[in-house]
Amino acid sequence: MATAPRLSASDRRQQLLDTAVALVVTQGAGAVTMERLAEQAGVSKALPYLHFENADAVLAAVYEIEVAHIGRKVRAGMAEQTEPADKITAAVHAYFDAVADRGAVFTALSARPTWP
């Protein structure tokens, strides 16, 4: 196992989340285990536990980040409009654009049979 460079706690957490997203997209949410996450991130088996309780907590964090991304896109699209009907149209377009950009993650997360 290659040793990962020292990162700040927030950068390491982000690295683990990025690694989890890659696993979700390529192998499905069921492939995200703490051991596989550590292996793919190039860190010790214990390190992911410093940031997340378990694999479900990792997946929940990924989901929350993806939902927040969509929310930001929708709010930004609405902010560009002044008329209520235009705001609704912009929100719908922004939502579908954001889902199109990140849909692989949502598809993989929703395909996990044990996901709450």
Instruction: For residue range 16-58, list pLDDT tens digits in order.
Output: 999 999 999 999 888 999 999 999 999 999 999 999 999 999 9
What's the pLDDT score for residue 3?
Answer: 59
Q: In which band, very low, low, confident or very high, does the pLDDT at 1 lie, cut at 50, 70 and 90? A: low
Query: pTM to 2 decimals?
Result: 0.81
Residue 2 lies in a domain: no
Q: In which band, very low, low, confident or very high, does the pLDDT at 109 lie, cut at 50, 70 and 90? A: confident
Residue 116 lies in a domain: no
DSSP class of 45: T
The percent of residues in the chain predicted with pLDDT above 90, rounded, is: 69
Assign residue 73 the CATH number of its domain: 1.10.357.10
Residue 1 lies in a domain: no
Q: In which band, very low, low, confident or very high, does the pLDDT at 115 lie, cut at 50, 70 and 90? A: very low
Give how far Cα 76 sits from Cα of 82, 94, 98, Å.
12, 8, 11
Give how far Cα 84 sits from Cα of 4, 87, 94, Å.
50, 5, 15
Domain extent for 81: 9-110
Instruction: Report the C-alpha gap between 84 and 24 in whole angstroms.
Output: 37
Total domains in the chain come to 1
Residue 3 lies in a domain: no
Instruction: Report the C-alpha gap between 87 and 99 in whole angstroms.
Output: 18
